[in-house]
Amino acid sequence: MSAASKYNRISPIYELIDLPLEYLFFRRWRTEILSGLSGKVLEVGVGTGRNLKYYPAGCFLTGIDNSAGMLEKAREKAGGMQNITLLLMDAEYLEFPDNSFDYVVTTFVLCTIPDPLKALEEMRRVLKPSGELMALEHMHSSNPVIALFEDLINPFLFFLFGDHTTRHTLKNIEEAGFIVLEAKRLAFKDVFRKIRAKP
């Protein structure tokens, strides 16, 4: 089953699944990474639209997702917001011209895209030379105990959500041609990180 099919299936209950993490951590991190943005913004993997309320009014946001079920939830949240456009699209094949956006945003998305390197190369292509990638992501830890736990739960999370806990996302961002400006550790040693990078 594809990741999109899995997310279509769980879209009605998706926000309940990680509700504790949302209240303990995620909503604070979303505020930190999104509140200062402006101009044309692309959010890759907009999901159910949890980020939408954190964007400043001055942003012109385009959100994409490859799950119609998740996008339906995002459209409910975006009702009446004139500065938001939501589109069904594959992150590995972005249907935008080069140098289109001031910012590209991902939050807990690079763990689910089948080919994250290809998607990141696409994100770099559509960013303006002066633009920035802003990412909140979880990744494989350098701590051996945490890494072992991630290895153990990876098959279970992949089966349910198409979620990889063993990806080296910071390395992937660099391999895609980005220069990392910040890689702030947020929780569980170096598992959750805030990343800022430029093309």
Q: What is the pLDDT of residues 129-164, one digit of tens each?
A: 999 999 999 999 999 999 999 999 988 888 877 789
Residue 1 has pLDDT above 70, yes or no: no
Element (H, E) at 124: helix 116-126
Determine the CATH number of domain 3-198. 3.40.50.150
pLDDT at 120: 98
- Predicted TM-score (pTM) of the model is 0.91
* Residue appearing with tokens 């030379």: 129
Contact 65, 85 (CB under 8 A): no
CA angle 123, 196, 35 (to 5 degrees): 100
